[in-house]
Structure 1
C-alpha cells in the first residue's frame, strides 16, 4: 500500500475550479474549493458563504468573505486576492477587514445599496421604483441620515406612525422594506442584534381590516407564528396549519388531502382537478419539513384515508380547527391570508420569476397568449422556491433566512 502511495501522481491544486452556475446548483453540505485557499461553504440549512484560508504571519487564518447572495464568485475571488496580497506583504487581513467595516453607511446609503443590488433581479421597473420611493418618501425624512447601526425602534415608529392607519398597505410595505435594509446591514457586518422591525407591531395600533382581501400576517412574522405552532406537542390541527403554510395551498385543499395523493418517494402531492379552484390537477413539491409533518400526521391519522383526519377518522378535519387555532394564538389574520404572506415574500425577498410564484399558488394565467405557450407546470423550479420558503419560515434568525440561497434577496 505504501508503494502505491509513493507512485501516485500528486493532485494539482485547483485553480478557479468553481463556476457561477455550479455554485448556485450546489446543495450538499460541505466545503468546495475554488483554488488559492478560496472555499464555498454550504451549511445543512442550505446557506452558502465564502471563506478564505491563508497564512498570516506564519499562522493559518480563515477569513469570512460573506454570503453568496451578497458576494458573487467573481467578487469573492477579487476579495480573496486582496487579502492574500495583504498577507504576503506581512499585513493583517482581519485588521483591514475591521477597518473597512468601521465605515458604517447611513440608512439612506444602505437602502440605496440594497436597491442597486436587487434592481438587477427585478424585471418590473415599476416595482423597483416603488421600492425605493417608499423609503424616500417616509423613511428618509425620519432617519435617512442616521448611521444604519444606530437606527432604533423609535426612529422606525416616527416613520410609520403618521401613515399606519391612514395608509395601512403602504405602511406595511414600508415596514417590510425597512426590515430588508436592516437585515442587509446585519449580514454586511454593520449591525448586530435583533432587527427592531420584528416587534414593531406591538407598539402600533391595530389596523382596520382590508375590505375585499383576506387579512394576512406580514411575511416577516410568519417564522414566529410557525415557532408558536411547534411549542406544544403536535396535533392534527397544528400539523395541518404548518403544512398549509409550507405549501401555500388553500384551506380546503389541505384539509381534504388524502394519503393516495402523496408520493413520498418523489416528495410531491398531487391535488385532483375537482378540488382545485382552477379546475385542473395541481402538483405541489414538498420541502423536507413537509415530509416530517406527514410522518407525524400518519401516527395521528389512525388509519384514515385523510392526511389530517377529523374527530371521525372517516371525515377530514373541519376548517374551524384552524380558525380556532388562530384565535387561541391571538393573531390578527385569516388562514387564507398566509397565501398572501407567501406572495409578498416572493416579491420582496426573492428574484424568482413571477410565473413561478404564480404557479406555486396555482393561479390561472389570465393572458391567453402566455397561457397558450405555457406547456409545463414549472415543477422543478417551484420545488426550489418552496425549499427556500420552507427554510425561511423555519428559521429563528431572519439574517440566516435572507442568505439561504442566491434566489433570496
Structure 2
C-alpha cells in the first residue's frame, strides 16, 4: 500500500482516519495502551441511510491498496445516488449466492433427507428400504446426482416412460415418491417452481391413467430351450452392455440390481455377491452365489476403473438403464425384455430340474407371501441355491475358467 500522507488522511477521533468521500482507515490497537503500537488496519465506507450512520467494511489495508479502496467507494457512492443501501445490497447478494448453492444439492441427497425425516412415521424399516430400492433402480440412474433444482419434466419422463406401460403399479409409486421428494426440497429451499412430477394437470397430459394402461401379465420372455443359443450370441457382442446382460441372465437378478452392482458387494474368493437391502425390491439383503462362468466374466471386468462393476461412459457412474434395451434393439430382438429371462430361468427350473420351489423362489429374491412360512424359513438356502445356479450356468452353455 502507498504511504499515506497527512494531506491524504485526516484523523477523525480514536482509530478513524478520513480520506474523503466517506472512505476511512480504521486502525486498531495492540495490547499495552495508547501509543504502544498499531493493530489491524482496514478500510471502511461510512455513510448515512435514513439518518442512521452505517459502516461498511472494504477489506484489510494490507490486501486492498488505497487506489482500490477509493474505486470501491466511488462505486458505492453511485449506488447511494440511486437510492440503494450498499449493506442491504450486499446482504441480498449473499442470500442469493446461498440460495443458488442450496439448489446445487443433489436429488439423491434430498431423497435421503426426505426418507430420514419421515421414516419414523412409517410402519416399519422395510418401507424405507423399498423407497430407497425403487429410487435407486429407476430415478437415481437418470438424475440422482443432478442438482435437485435441475430436475424437470423431461428427466422425470425419462425415468417413468420406460416402465409406465409395463410396470404401471411400480411406476405410479415411483412418480409419487419423486413428487414427495421434490415438494420436500421446495419447502426446504433447495428448489423453486412447480413440481415436475405432479400428476393432475401435468403428467396426466403426458401419460395414460394407470387404470387405462393395458395390464401386462408377463414380460416378453425367451423360451428356456432357446437361452443357450441366445447366450452364445451375447458372447459375441462387444461392449459392457453385453457383459451386463450375460451377468444378469446367469445370476437371475433384476435389471436394477445388476446395473448397480459394485465391487464392494462382490467377494471373488467366496464366489458371492451380496446386494444390500436398500437396492433390493423387497428391502431385504440378498446373497447371490456366483457360478464359475460369472466369476470368469467378473475377472474380465476388473480392468475397468470405478466402484461399479459395469461402468457407464461418465466417470463414477453405472451403465445407463437403457443400455441393455439398446443392445436388444441392435440384435433385432425387440420381442424380448431383459427382465423376461427371470421367467426363462423359472420355467427351466420347474420343468427340467428337481430343485424345490422355495429354492428357486429364493434365488429370484421373491417375497414370501405366507407369514407362517416366512417365520419358519430362517435361512437363505444358500448352499442349495449355489447348486441351482451352477446348474443354470451349465445349461446356458457358459464356460468358466
Name the TM-score class by shorter chain.
Answer: 0.3 to 0.5
Q: Which has the higher contact order (CA 8 A, sep 6+)?
A: 1
TM-score, normalization by structure 2: 0.45
- Of structures 1 and 2, the larger Rg is shown by 2
